[in-house]
Amino acid sequence: MDSLYLLIPIALLFCAIAIKLLLWAIDSGQYDDLDKEAWKILADDEPPRESADGQAPHNTSEEKQS
């Protein structure tokens, strides 16, 4: 049971690191728009970016079946 004296500080250290990371993420604006990011992961199959010559992009097969 003496291992508690080692394990608990380690757990606290991990917790402190996690809090530090989370606060950094909040401050860097990653959580500023919770609505959009939640939706975005479902729409990751973005059509390829159009080249500058103004051509319409080719549709993926998923877009066509709708």
Residues lying near another protein in the complex (CB under 8 A) are found at: 1, 4-5, 8, 11-12, 15, 18-19, 22-23, 26-27, 31-36, 38-40, 42-43, 46-47, 49-50, 52, 54, 56-59, 62-64, 66
Nearest distance in Å: CB 22, another protein: 5
Residue 43 CB neighbours (<10 A): 7
Nearest distance in Å: CB 44, another protein: 10
Instruction: Locate all alpha helices (DSSP H) within the chain, ordered by sequence.
Output: 4-27, 34-40, 61-64
Q: Give the chain's end-to-end CA distance (angstroms, integer).
A: 62
Nearest distance in Å: CB 60, another protein: 9
Structure tokens at 30: 């990653």
